[in-house]
Structure 1
């Protein structure tokens, strides 16, 4: 189970994301980026954050630590923004927090290079979870203490928004031609060899167990939170075994007939120039 803390002060909203996360302080003296159950995307965004964040960490990727955060909306009474006030009022109770990385910078491919091995691990992981939100336009990666960190996994596993068609959606290939790390020649084959065997039923069951029951109850078509967890395990386990052969990388793998990278020309030229130095 994820550690649980109580929010003691609402610091400021973060307006980069559509869900309007906020920075809060908690009773463990920690500072967290908090995502709210009352946000427009709903609790499934938080479920995705937990499953994918915990899975990524277990696979050796750098993802900020997650905690359960209890929220009393009264802590936001001094916040002048009515939108924030409404969000806090709608989110009383259990929410999700991610460890705040002070001084971190948004990933900039012109300032921070990524090797093929690490790029391959990230692309394969995003293919596994069906991440549609790590493009060069919106990388959802931070650089902290000289290392790459992955954030914002709410737009993953889109099949859980319609369980009736989940099998078909989860079986789809992954187009990585627009991925923020596509220009860095990601070694997806090596990543698959290293990571796929580690995505076991036992591991996925442990990861899914970190999702609070409150966010899984009353899911249409399921009779219990454990039944929902089991469905996540089944789909991710099957995808881990097959996705490596269905990733479109772009022009970094022309012999495979992949489509050209969708990154802008200036970015691809710059990366190629750095690689030849």
Structure 2
């Protein structure tokens, strides 16, 4: 179960994406990157962060620890940015926090080498969750204390934005040609042999149980939050067994628009968040997501 904390101080917004996450301090004395329910991308991006983040951690990948973070909007009253104030007001209640990695730096393939085994595990995992936002243009990878860390899983499992077509969408192949780690000769077969057997119905049930009911309630087409959780399990379980057979690793195509829809990743020209303005997130290191 993900720990629950309360935000005690809003430190600063992060400004390199569209959902305007912020750095906050909590009552456990920790510092977190907070992603808000009031952001325009909606609660499903937080669901994706939990399901994929927890799954990645259970598979041995480095993903910052997640917490359920209670927010009292009053902590933002002294924030001079009106956009931030409006976002905090729209996000009272339960939000998502991820451990802030101080001093981390963005992944640079020219400065940091990744062995084929680790590259294979990351590519296989991204294929499993259909991560369309870990390309060489925007790696969503950090280097912290010499290790590679995975962040920003909001633009994954695209099928959960259209549940009636989920089975067809989840059965599709995964084009990893432009993946940030494609140049490192990822050993996808080895990753599949090691990780696919770990993705059991039991594991997926445990991971989806970490998603708060508040983010699943009233989902169209489902009569309960547990039914929504089962839908995630049914989409991911068969994909884990065979996705390695449908990963494309051709030569990078060169510059082209990302496969990720702009409304989901918060890129310029995409749908704004709830305050009616487009924000950004990020520092020279951890951005904690878009």
TM-score by length of 2: 0.87
More helix by share: 1
Partner of 1:67: 67
CA distance in 2, matches of 1:97, 1:113: 29
Deviations 1:21-79 (A, max 9, x none): 10000000000000000001100000000000000000000000000000011101111
Provide the secondary structure at the position in 1 that maps to 2:98.
strand
Deviation at 1:17, TM superposition (A): 2.0
Aligned equivalent of 1:180: 180
When residues 22 and 212 of structure 1 are mapped into structure 2, their CA distance, relative to the original with a 3 A threshold, is same
Who wins on radius of gyration, i.e. which is larger?
1
> SS at 1:4's partner residue?
strand
Check if 1:20 corresponds to 2:12: no
Match of 1:261 among 252, 267, 275: 252
Map of 1:268 onto structure 2: none
The equivalent of 2:31 in structure 1 is 31
Distance 1:107 1:83 in 2: 29
Higher relative contact order (CA 8 A, sep 6+): 2
Deviation at 1:111, TM superposition (A): 1.0
1:123 aligns with 2:126: no
SS in structure 2 at match of 1:94: strand
DSSP-derived class of the 1:235 partner: helix
Quote the residue 1:267 is aligned against: none
TM-score (norm 1): 0.91
Taking the aligned partners of 2:246 and 2:150, their CA distance within structure 1 comes to 22
**Is the CA contact 1:130–1:174 (under 8 Å) kept in the aligned structure 2?**
yes
Report the number of matched residues.
255
Classify the secondary structure of the residue corresponding to 1:6: strand
**Alpha-carbon distance between aligned partners in 2 of 1:239 and 1:263, rounded to the nearest angstrom:** 28
Please tell me whether residue 248 in structure 1 is matched to residue 239 in structure 2: no
Structure 1: which 5+ runs fail to align? 251-259, 265-277
8 A contact 1:136–1:263 mirrored in 2? no
Once residues 179 and 86 of structure 2 are traced to their aligned partners in structure 1, the CA distance between those partners, rounded to angstroms, is: 34
Mapped to 2, the partners of 1:141 and 1:126 lie a distance apart of: 12
Q: Are 2:239 and 1:239 aligned?
A: yes
Root-mean-square deviation (Å): 0.8
Contact 1:183 1:263 in 2 (8 A): no
Q: Residue 262 of structure 1: CA displacement? A: 3.0
Pairing 1:197–2:188 present = no
